[in-house]
A and B are shown apart, each in its own frame.
Chain A
Amino acid sequence: MNRSTTVLMKIEESATVLSLLKSDLLPMEVVLSQFNSKLQSSSHLAVCNSLSMMLQDQKMLCGTERIIAFGIIYHCYSSQKPSFNPFLSEMISAACNEQLEKSERAFLLHLLQWNNYNNVKEILKQSAVDYIRSFDPSTHDFPELGELQREYGDKADTGPSSHIFADYSLKKLLHDPDVPRGCDPNSPEFDVQPGGNPRIGSGDRDEALSGLLENSTMGGLAPRWIRPCPPRYPVHQSELLWIDPDNKHELVWDDKMCADTSRGATVRDLLVKGLKMTLSPSEQEDITTELTNDPKLVYNCGITARKLPQLVEHNPQIAVEILTKLNNNKEILDDFLAALVNMDMSLHSMEVVNRLTTAVELPKEFIRSYITNCISSCENAKQQDKYMQNRLVRLVCVFLQSLIRNNIINVKDLFIEVQAFCIEFSRVREAAGLFRLLKTLE
């Protein structure tokens, strides 16, 4: 575990500080100059921080050590205004603390240069022991806390952090004396006796001091805010990606490259027009001629099975022409015929089928399903108006008669179906006629 970021002082540094605190016989000036030479200014804050923590505990340091500790804190910031000293408020409250020795409080007032306490330099020439010994409490009067705070409080720096939690942070040691139950932890019997066997509950003050120096950190104890980390956003089923293979969208080769685009262009354009309106006779003739001249043109004239119904509706003759030309290619023709079966019944579609039957030989299955479709269309037309239905029935009858007369279909294949149709629509004259035709063929 890497704790270098939190522990402030190196082991050597804390040993130095400890030995300086114990130099109570040397003039304080000398102690402070040794402090200067042995410790870098970068560690001053850390040292002061640890010292101030130990000073808050009145029993950790003895009288001379406390004097020297305050001296060090003062010294570190002596070149600046008192208000820059982050430990000013602690010095002020110690100076007014009646529980402390008067000599110590007077020393602090000298350091703070309050009123007539102005001979810091003289005092520092003495050793800590000498200062305490020569101190005469009767010559001093001590200010109230409020007085001092008014004097320095306004100037006091608010410290490195400025929010309320940091402001109120506490630097305090908790006593946790480890002595047998019922014993007074303050009794000197638990101090380590030189030479004697250490007894349970005894402790070495110096060891504790260096431990504190080494382990002290910058932070204090402050109220802590609970800041819950937001919960991780739940993974909804749709966020996890289920993959569905899409169509392979490959790059397309442009097969019109260098194709002879001039030929057939007119036909293609005319046919596009023919999907929407009836073409003039001359236009129709143009198409027929072109299709006859180039037998392959029919395959790329732009008409596909899906476009066929529109062509049938507007230009049945052309549709017949195209279907006839496609006769050589069974597969494509089947597609086109399927489109014919699936489109709605109409005069034009029947006309196309009728003409086609005379021009080419159509698959029997096609004709059969076409007729079935015709009949069911008539039946379904019931929901629409009667007039339309009658008209459709008439058309189908005529169409069927034509097929029978031309021997396109074998009546026997469809006899029952057609007969039922005739009976259902016997009110229509043409149906009766067809029925009679069927009877004669029987």
Chain B
Amino acid sequence: MDSRDSSSAVASDAARDASLLSEDAAVLSVTSTLAKSALSCFQSGKFEDCIDILIQLDQKQHNDPKVLHNMAIAEYFKGGCSKSKKLLEELNCVKKQSEELASAAREQVEAVNPGTNVSVSKDQFDSTVTTLNIAVTWFHMHQYTKSSSILEPLFQNIGRLDETIALQICFLLLDIALASHDAVKFLAVFDYMDKAFGVGFGSHEENGSTMQLSSNQGSKTSSLLSSSVVADTVAESSLCEETLDYDNVLAAEFEAEKRMKSVGHIPANNLLKTLSERSFSTADLKLELQLYKVRFLLLTRNLKLAKREVKHAMNIAQKRDSSMALLLKSQLEYAHGNHQKAMKLLVVSGIHKESGTSGIFNNNLGCIYYQLGKYEASSQLFSKALRSCSSLRNEKPVKTFSLSQNKSLLITYNMGLLYLARGEPLLAAQCFQKASVVFCRQPLIWLRLAECCMMALQSGLLDRSEIRVNVVGKGKYRKLMIEENEHVELDGSAQCGKLSLPLARACLSNGIYLLNESLLNESKSDRESTLSVGMNETKEASSADHGEANTNSDLKEAKGGLNQDIIQSSLSAFKNIQSREKLLIKQALLANMAYVELELENPIKALAAANSLLQVPDCSKIYVFLGHLYAAEALCLLNRPVEAGAHLSAYLVGQDDFKLPYEQEDFDQWRMHTSSDCEETLDSSTGNARDSVFLKPEEARGALFADLAALLATQGHHDQAKAMITHALTLIPNNVQATVTAVYIDMMLGRSQDALTRLKQCTRVSFVPGRLEVRAS
């Protein structure tokens, strides 16, 4: 008997044959008993038994989409959660089927009895759970855009959904928004939750007092308060210590924990419970939303407000699980550049004690050590984090398996940055390639991959930084042969593996494409901003009819008006930061592109990239300098020396002097690019200061002299060239290229004796005996 028949029978005609009705009821009770035991098997992790029952059910309720749905879920867990693709196929199939059945049922009911309630079929063929599961699966596969677009229709109608499901959808949307750095979407969801579940950016103090309901909670309030004070002082006191040593920090933490215990206050670690396992009391929800509020503020880098809100989160968390709040506090200190404090808070949060979160602990500690410039320690921590992730994956039983705690790809990305900082391009590239599953839509990872290629090539071509002079013959017949214009490849270059300049070029063009796309979207969304605000209002209006009588929320809004302003301003500040960062990345991508094209001997493309670089609005002076230099060289290679000269003369002062193309401050500013939000704390002497090494302003000026000299030399103006190159060599005395140019000019002027002296004085020249001598020795 088809379930559709039974339901429509009940719905359409109550006065039907009584025996038939009771038969239906019998079938229903048998199936619902089976359904219950299937659920209990599922919950206790007996997936095989569960599937057996589901097969029985399927025979009774042929093609019931819900049975098929649960079967797919059970199969997935039985297979160790490894076949995500297959699960998605099956779930999509179920979804399609239930939608077809739903529309068929609706038509049927309306045909039989127009105007009747269609809720029966609505419930029977409702695909909300299926849709949610599809979104969850995409989320775990790090496909945030897909996941979000699938949830969007559910969110539009969220008021009509069952509360638990609605909460799950909202939390998933929040996590998606955080993972994809989408502050606007985050706020849309958060605002809804605020209104529907009544905890928001608004005033929390007055809520706090009324929340205390039962007397045992109420009477405890005072003791809780005092204990929270104690706990806080414990935490603070352990933070005062100045040592950075990991063991010491751990010791301090144990001490703190002991004291906390004596207060009779142990935070239960709530992190490892799944959403559905947690019972969401209003108070739990309040804490959870408060934590998300802090995450939002951290995302938008509004550190001041985040500090205030995290304090409040700590207060709420005191009688529950404070590990999450402590972790966020640690992140806040990290963002502030207070690495010692961040480290201690991280340890106090206690997340290293759970196998499920120890990977996260190690990763975050690794980040701190990276910022401190301690790459060795950082690398050990990242590898440890990766190991604990993979051991988590192999853990049995599958029930405790939690895909979402598998952050290995994020850790791998960090590892890649670390390898890059340590000058190991091959390993770095491997990491970035792995992590690209998650980050392939982000331009930055493509820039990093290109940097790996370029670094590999540079380390493979060490010889380019030296002049080799072959010494041939002896005595009166001793001759020098200068070897230049040739790359001498080292054996090491074989190690470059797949890293090559063409790969760098491909990566850079991917990055440029993605960046242009997102810049385009940005300007589009700016134009449509009025439209989206309008949509928000309608959304709010629809959610407001839940709580239209709830004047409390209106009141809160009135009070929280200031807060809304702060949120909006931090949102727009974040948008500014994001677009500034995009432009910075664009500059880097284009500069690298021009460089790579020159290396690949494509002056036309190099010129195009350099010209686009020079057109980037508010381009950093450093990149303007590079843009001019690359463009000039490309023009030389295209036999357009006059235009090349024009690029260089942009920096000319008078006839024959160059100004500094940029100041040291420009470089510092560029290196710290987004530090305006934490300028007071970031110390330029720490770790990442040595990340990017570049020409000092004086050296850049020297390069201008040398390049103009080279250009003049090719034009036959040897005397002018000589003056330029002499100037260049006072600024960059040991520069190989400048020395070669100088030697060339000397020889063109017939002053080979000068050239000889120059070569003998330059420290970067190696005199190599001819092969005969080598063989003889």
Selected from B455, B482, B552, the residue in CB contact (under 8 A) with A174 is B482
Looking at the complex, which of A78-86, A251-259, A434-442 is the stretch in contact with chain B?
A: A251-259
Q: How far is the CB of A311 from chain B (nearest CB, A)?
A: 10
How far, in angstroms, from A194 to B372 measured CA to CA in the complex?
70
Selected from B57, B478, B547, B623, the residue in CB contact (under 8 A) with A176 is B478
A228 pairs with B703, CB closer than 8 A: yes
A1 pairs with B691, CB closer than 8 A: no
* Contact string against A for B residues 25-45, beta-carbon threshold 8 Å, 1 for contact and 0 otherwise: 000110110110011001100
A167 pairs with B714, CB closer than 8 A: yes
B35 pairs with A208, CB closer than 8 A: no
B214 pairs with A334, CB closer than 8 A: yes
Q: Select from chain A the residue with minimum beta-carbon distance to B127.
A: A254
Q: What are the residues of chain A within 8 A of B748 when measuring CB–CB?
A: 170
B549 pairs with A258, CB closer than 8 A: no
Q: What are the residues of chain B within 8 A of A337 when measuring CB–CB?
A: 213
Q: What are the residues of chain A within 8 A of B673 when measuring CB–CB?
A: 234, 236
How far, in angstroms, from A262 to B118 measured CA to CA in the complex?
11
Q: What are the residues of chain A within 8 A of B211 when measuring CB–CB?
A: 338, 342
B61 CB-CB contact with A under 8 Å: yes
Q: Select from chain A the residue with minimum beta-carbon distance to B421.
A: A235
A338 pairs with B213, CB closer than 8 A: yes
Total chain A interface residues with beta-carbon distance under 8 A: 123
Q: Select from chain B the residue with minimum beta-carbon distance to A188.
A: B476
How far, in angstroms, from A266 to B752 measured CA to CA in the complex?
104
Q: What are the residues of chain B within 8 A of A232 when measuring CB–CB?
A: 420, 451, 455, 691-693
B119 pairs with A269, CB closer than 8 A: yes
B218 pairs with A310, CB closer than 8 A: no
A387 CB-CB contact with B under 8 Å: no
B479 pairs with A208, CB closer than 8 A: yes
Q: How far is the CB of A211 from chain B (nearest CB, A)?
A: 4
B691 pairs with A262, CB closer than 8 A: no
A365 pairs with B214, CB closer than 8 A: yes
- Which of B528-553 touch A at CB < 8 Å? 545-547, 549-552
How far, in angstroms, from A143 to B297 measured CA to CA in the complex?
86
A251 pairs with B76, CB closer than 8 A: yes
B239 CB-CB contact with A under 8 Å: no
B39 pairs with A253, CB closer than 8 A: yes
How far, in angstroms, from A346 to B551 measured CA to CA in the complex?
10
Q: Select from chain B the residue with minimum beta-carbon distance to A303.
A: B163
* Contact string against A for B residues 100-143, beta-carbon threshold 8 Å, 1 for contact and 0 otherwise: 00000000000000000101100110100110110011011000
Q: What are the residues of chain A within 8 A of B410 when measuring CB–CB?
A: 241, 243
Given the contacts A203-B477, A253-B73, A344-B550, A247 and B175 also touching, CB distance less than 8 Å: yes
Selected from A164, A226, A248, the residue in CB contact (under 8 A) with B714 is A164
How far, in angstroms, from A233 to B714 measured CA to CA in the complex?
34
Q: What are the residues of chain A within 8 A of B328 when measuring CB–CB?
A: 244
How far, in angstroms, from A178 to B76 measured CA to CA in the complex?
82
Q: How far is the CB of B187 from chain A (nearest CB, A)?
A: 18
Selected from B32, B123, B636, the residue in CB contact (under 8 A) with A165 is B636
Q: What are the residues of chain B within 8 A of A200 when measuring CB–CB?
A: 475
Among B364, B421, B475, B481, chain A packs the most CB atoms within 10 A around the CB of B475
* Contact string against A for B residues 593-621, beta-carbon threshold 8 Å, 1 for contact and 0 otherwise: 00100100001000000000000000000
- Which of B50-103 touch A at CB < 8 Å? 57, 61, 64, 66-67, 69-70, 73, 76-77
A310 pairs with B549, CB closer than 8 A: yes
A164 pairs with B549, CB closer than 8 A: no
How far, in angstroms, from A373 to B363 measured CA to CA in the complex?
47
Q: What are the residues of chain B within 8 A of A167 when measuring CB–CB?
A: 714
Q: Select from chain B the residue with minimum beta-carbon distance to A54.
A: B479
A249 pairs with B404, CB closer than 8 A: yes
B489 pairs with A309, CB closer than 8 A: no
Selected from A252, A257, A339, the residue in CB contact (under 8 A) with B67 is A257
Q: How far is the CB of A258 from chain B (nearest CB, A)?
A: 4
Looking at the complex, which of B220-228, B246-254, B255-263, B737-745 is the stretch in contact with chain A?
A: B737-745
B747 CB-CB contact with A under 8 Å: yes
B129 pairs with A254, CB closer than 8 A: yes
Q: How far is the CB of B612 from chain A (nearest CB, A)?
A: 14
Q: What are the residues of chain A within 8 A of B124 when measuring CB–CB?
A: 261
A202 CB-CB contact with B under 8 Å: yes
Q: Select from chain B the residue with minimum beta-carbon distance to A6.
A: B486
B545 pairs with A226, CB closer than 8 A: no
Q: How far is the CB of A194 from chain B (nearest CB, A)?
A: 16
B19 CB-CB contact with A under 8 Å: no
A191 CB-CB contact with B under 8 Å: yes
How far, in angstroms, from A434 to B363 measured CA to CA in the complex?
65
B479 pairs with A239, CB closer than 8 A: no
- Which of A1-28 touch B at CB < 8 Å? 1-3, 5-7, 11
Q: What are the residues of chain A within 8 A of B591 when measuring CB–CB?
A: 230
B309 CB-CB contact with A under 8 Å: no
Q: What are the residues of chain A within 8 A of B588 when measuring CB–CB?
A: 230, 233
B13 CB-CB contact with A under 8 Å: no
Looking at the complex, which of B272-280, B512-520, B560-568 is the stretch in contact with chain A?
A: B272-280
Selected from B119, B178, B405, the residue in CB contact (under 8 A) with A248 is B405
Q: What are the residues of chain A within 8 A of B198 when measuring CB–CB?
A: 306, 342
A343 pairs with B552, CB closer than 8 A: yes
A250 CB-CB contact with B under 8 Å: yes
A146 CB-CB contact with B under 8 Å: no
Q: What are the residues of chain A within 8 A of B215 when measuring CB–CB?
A: 364-365
- Which of A274-322 touch B at CB < 8 Å? 275-276, 302, 304-307, 309-310, 313-314
Q: What are the residues of chain B within 8 A of A170 when measuring CB–CB?
A: 744, 747-748
Given the contacts A234-B672, A247-B171, A310-B550, A258 and B737 also touching, CB distance less than 8 Å: no
How far, in angstroms, from A335 to B136 measured CA to CA in the complex?
29
How far, in angstroms, from A217 to B43 measured CA to CA in the complex?
76
* Contact string against B for A residues 352-377, beta-carbon threshold 8 Å, 1 for contact and 0 otherwise: 00000000000111100100010000
Listed A/B pairs (28) with beta-carbon separation below 8 Å: A163-B639, A166-B485, A168-B713, A175-B479, A178-B474, A186-B476, A191-B476, A212-B770, A214-B770, A215-B472, A224-B485, A224-B737, A226-B629, A226-B735, A231-B694, A233-B444, A234-B673, A235-B421, A237-B335, A253-B70, A254-B66, A256-B66, A256-B129, A260-B32, A262-B7, A306-B282, A309-B550, A343-B550
The 3 closest A-B pairs by CB, nearest first: A208-B473, A203-B475, A224-B737
